[in-house]
Amino acid sequence: MEGGVWRFWASRRALEQRAVSLSALCRAASDPLYITTRNEFQDEALLNELHWSPHAQQYADYGLHTDGARLVKKPAKQHEPAHVVRQVTVPPQERFVTSAFGYVSLFPMLLKVLKPDSPKLGKIFDDLDKPELLWSPYGLRSLSKTSPFYMKRNTEHDPPYWRGQVWISINYLALGALRHYSKVMGPYASRAANLHKRLRDNVVRELFFQSLGFRNVLSEYKRTGYFWEHYSGVDGKGAGCRPFTGWTALVVLIMAGEY
């Protein structure tokens, strides 16, 4: 009896907290400052002004940046261990970070900010389909293979992160956006439909069906007992945190075509 009362109370408290959270979100969504910020994020002209690189023909971050930085191992001194330092050979300057084409370059498409007839959408679709950039048999890589940061360590003690691996969360957004652009009238609808089908096949088939001979989520689960945070764009091997049935579980929605 006591256990039943406790479960009832806990469930009631959870529902009350959820109602309070939803109420707070509704109030925030009607706040004028939020509405202004939301409209700015959806302003394609402003987005192009701030983040479109005419030279590279891609969306990119803008800020103080240099590609001339690397980790260098310093020789050990007597009674001291060797250590790694960051060496900068080219001073940073204000610029578009066009050497890091990856997920960040896709967000105007991922979030459906671009109009269906935008030439920039067509350019993203072209780049999306290139194996030397993001396309892999296991889904879209997080960073282009041509980037100087591809699969490079972040620090001495921090291995590559978001620097080439396949993340199911972003592939889910990409598939949802491709489905969207395939359904609305525009010059790139058929291209979006083709990319959607092929990317979905890669994410679902190559990651989940062992019979195809690729390393995949299912075989990794059988091999290791875990679902993984992200997967290799080279062989599909799971890596990062585990168990990770958070956004990796989005593949079920991908299989159902629910975005």
Where is average pLDDT lowest: 22-26, 211-215, 220-224, 226-230? 211-215
Of residues 18 and 116, more confidence is placed in 116
The most confident of 5-9, 159-163, 169-173, by mean pLDDT: 169-173
pLDDT in the model for residue 211: 46
Residues in CB range of 246: below 8 A, 6 or more apart: none
Average pLDDT over residues 247-258: 89
Of residues 81 and 150, more confidence is placed in 150
Confidence band of 5 (pLDDT split at 50, 70, 90): very low
| The two structure tokens encoding residue 160 | 């590559």
Q: Is the pLDDT of residue 81 over 70?
A: yes
Q: Is the pLDDT of residue 186 over 60?
A: yes
Cα 195 from Cα 183, distance rounded (Å): 13
Q: Is the pLDDT of residue 251 over 90?
A: no
CATH T-level assignment (fold) for domain 99-256: Glycosyltransferase (1.50.10)
Confidence band of 9 (pLDDT split at 50, 70, 90): very low
Average pLDDT over residues 201-214: 62
Cα 203 from Cα 248, distance rounded (Å): 11
| The two structure tokens encoding residue 192 | 């979006």
Confidence band of 42 (pLDDT split at 50, 70, 90): confident
Confidence band of 114 (pLDDT split at 50, 70, 90): very high
Q: 136-168: per-residue pLDDT in tens?
A: 988 999 999 999 999 998 887 888 999 999 999
Cα 242 from Cα 239, distance rounded (Å): 8
Q: Is the pLDDT of residue 1 over 60?
A: no
Cα 132 from Cα 147, distance rounded (Å): 10
pLDDT in the model for residue 208: 57
Residues in CB range of 241: below 8 A, 6 or more apart: 228, 229
What is the pLDDT of the chain when averaged over all its residues?
A: 85
Average pLDDT over residues 227-243: 88
Q: Is the pLDDT of residue 49 over 80?
A: yes
Of residues 16 and 24, more confidence is placed in 24
